[in-house]
């Protein structure tokens, strides 16, 4: 690991933004640029997980005189949660904003998210509505715990029981079980108190786990329905679909074992394990074919 040697100012900070990159592509440049044009009292901590595209280093050089940017270079891909935790240990802001490198925010978006925390001591985590380039909201913006009983009801055609909640999202602050991990705002003290991200997740489902633990600690998870943020979705995942899918399914299995009461039944647990990994294997041919077509 190497941290940018640029000296950093000791001024008081409202916010620390943590962005994790792993060959994330050109969108990372715009993500960082939008953050650093803000006049808010913030810092940006870019944690690079062994990228080979040269973009994190180029950003570091471009903003070498800006004391608000720090870049942490990891020699290998540590995984998303461990990288965020690494950045959080260096953070000095009162709040932490975990932001995907393909998620583009405006200063007004950040202000409204911070306002959702202000004066609400029982709000522990705030998310936003992430949208595609056409402005269509991602259903994963408003989510439920992925419990087995819900999955079975959804499988057998029962509407409204999936992990993602369908339907129009109200343009107001609403309480939810979970939000998209593309953008998550938390008080830094609470993030530290609950131990940050569970580092036994490498990629995927660690956001669902974090939301669950925030609630288990007695805090609310909220969705700022009036904050709409452009999300490119999968800048680095497109080039390694099988790799990403493997860790997604591994994350699903860990979440089940850790949080779902059904995991206490050995027979059910065995069926779920078989279902998760059969689904992973079944997807591989299509993923490899899609990768071949891209090339």
Give dist(CA 251, CA 238) in Å, integer: 19
Taking only the tens place, the pLDDT of each residue in 118-151 is 999 999 999 999 999 888 999 999 999 999 998 8
DSSP-derived 3-state class of residue 81: helix
Measured CA to CA in angstroms, residue 17 lies from 94, 101, 106 at distances of 11, 11, 13
Q: What is the pLDDT of residue 234?
A: 55
d(CA 107, CA 173): 18
Cβ atoms within 10 A of the Cβ of 290, count?
11
pLDDT in tens, 111-126: 999 999 999 999 999 9
Alpha-carbon gap, residue 256 to 201, rounded angstroms: 12
Place of tokens 């040697």: 5
- pLDDT confidence bin for 3, thresholds 50/70/90: low
Tokens of 12: 């008081």
Least reliable range by pLDDT among 40-44, 225-229, 237-241, 245-249 = 237-241
Q: How confident is the model at residue 154 (pLDDT cuts 50, 70, 90)?
A: confident
Partners of 20 in the β-ladder: 47
Pairwise CA distance, residues 10 & 140, whole Å: 37
pTM to 2 decimal places = 0.91
* E strand map for 85-240: 95-99, 103-104, 123-131, 142-143, 173-176, 178-179, 183-187, 220-231
Both structure tokens of 242: 């099988």
Q: Predicted confidence band at 175 (pLDDT cuts at 50, 70, 90)? A: very high
Q: How many CB atoms lie within 10 A of CB 71?
A: 24
Which phi and psi (to 5°) does residue 229 adopt? -125, 135
Average pLDDT, the chain: 91
Residue with tokens 């595209």: 53
Tokens for 292? 């071949």
pLDDT for residue 157: 66
What tokens does 181 get?
């991990």
DSSP one-letter string for 154-180: HHTT-TT-SSBPPSPPPSSEEEESEE-
Tell me, rounded to whole angstroms, the distance of Cα 10 from its chain centroid.
Answer: 28
For 69, 124, 137, 154, 225, the CA distances from 168, given in Å and listed in that order, are: 37, 24, 9, 19, 10
């Amino acid at each position: 690991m190497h941290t940018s040697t640029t000296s950093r100012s000791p001024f008081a900070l409202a916010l620390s933004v943590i962005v994790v990159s792993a060959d994330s592509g050109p969108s990372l440049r715009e993500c960082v640029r939008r953050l650093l044009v803000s006049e808010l009292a913030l810092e940006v901590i870019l944690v690079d997980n062994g990228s080979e595209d040269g973009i994190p280093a180029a950003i570091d050089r471009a903003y070498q005189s800006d004391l608000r940017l720090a870049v942490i270079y990891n020699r290998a891909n540590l995984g998303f949660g461990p990288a965020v935790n690494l950045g959080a240990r260096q953070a000095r802001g009162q709040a932490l904003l975990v932001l995907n490198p393909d998620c583009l925010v405006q200063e007004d978006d950040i202000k409204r998210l911070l306002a959702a925390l202000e004066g609400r001591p029982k709000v522990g985590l705030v998310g936003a509505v992430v949208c595609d380039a056409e402005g269509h909201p991602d259903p994963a913006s408003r989510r439920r715990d992925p419990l087995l009983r819900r999955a079975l009801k959804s499988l057998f055609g029962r509407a409204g029981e999936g992990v993602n909640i369908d339907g129009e999202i109200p343009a107001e602050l609403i309480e939810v079980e979970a939000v998209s991990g593309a953008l998550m705002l938390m008080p830094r003290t609470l993030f530290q108190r609950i131990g940050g991200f569970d580092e036994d997740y490498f990629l995927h489902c660690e956001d669902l786990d974090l939301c669950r633990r925030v609630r288990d600690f007695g805090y609310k998870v909220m969705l700022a329905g009036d904050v709409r943020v452009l999300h490119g979705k999968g800048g680095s995942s497109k080039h390694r679909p099988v790799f990403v899918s493997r860790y997604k399914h591994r994350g699903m299995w860990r979440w089940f074992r850790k949080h779902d009461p059904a995991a206490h039944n050995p027979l059910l647990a065995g069926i779920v394990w078989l279902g998760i990994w059969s689904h992973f294997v079944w997807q591989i041919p299509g993923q490899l074919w899609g990768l071949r077509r891209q090339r």
